[in-house]
Chains A and B, each alone.
Chain A
Amino acid sequence: MSRAEAQQAIALGDDALVLGHRLSQWSSRAPTLEEDIALSNLALDLIGQARLFYTLAGEMEGEGRSEDDFAYFRDASAFRNVILVELPNGDFAQTMMRQLLFAAFMHPYFAATAEHATHAGFRDIAAKAVKEMAYHVRHAGDWVIRLGDGTAASHRRTRAALDALWPATGELFEMDADETALAASGVVPDRATLHAPWQATLDRVLGEAGLARPDGDAHTLTGGRRGAHTAHLAPMLEDMQSLARAHPGATW
Chain B
Amino acid sequence: MVETAMPIWEVFIRPRSGLPHRHCGSVHAPDATLALQAARDVYTRRGESVSIWVVPSAAIIASDPNDKDQLFEPTSTKVYRHPTFYDIPDEVGHM
Contact = CB atoms under 8 A, between A and B. Distances in A.
A138 interface: yes
B34 A142 contact: yes
Interface residues of A, number: 14
Interface string A33-69: 1110110010000000000000000000000000000
A153 interface: yes
A142 B35 CA distance: 11
Contact of A153 (B1, B28, B29, B37): B1
Given A34-B42, A41-B45, A139 B30 contact: no
A34 B38 contact: yes
Contacts of A139: 37
Given A32-B6, A142-B33, A38 B41 contact: yes
Contact of A34 (B1, B31, B41, B45): B41
Given A35-B38, A37-B45, A142-B34, 13 more contacts: A33-B28, A34-B28, A34-B38, A34-B41, A34-B42, A37-B42, A38-B37, A38-B38, A41-B45, A142-B37, A143-B34, A146-B31, A151-B1
8 contacts: A34-B28, A34-B41, A35-B38, A38-B37, A38-B38, A38-B42, A138-B37, A142-B34
A146 B37 CA distance: 14
Contacts of B33: 142
A78 B29 CA distance: 41
B27 interface: yes
Q: Which 8 pairs across A and B sit closest by C-beta, in order of nearness?
A: A34-B38, A38-B41, A34-B27, A37-B41, A41-B41, A37-B42, A32-B28, A139-B37
Interface residues of B, number: 14
Interface string B1-44: 10000100000000000000000000111110110011001100
A33 B45 CA distance: 15
Nearest to A153: B1
A32 B37 CA distance: 13
Contacts of A138: 37
A143 B28 CA distance: 14
Instruction: Pick the most buried of B1, B6, B33, B42: most chain A CB atoms within 10 A of its CB.
Output: B42
Contacts of A146: 30-31, 34
Contacts of B28: 32-34
Contacts of B30: 146
A145 B33 CA distance: 12
A143 B41 CA distance: 14
B34 to A, nearest CB: 6
Interface string B36-61: 01100110010000000000000000
B3 to A, nearest CB: 10
B49 to A, nearest CB: 14
A146 B30 CA distance: 9
Nearest to A42: B41
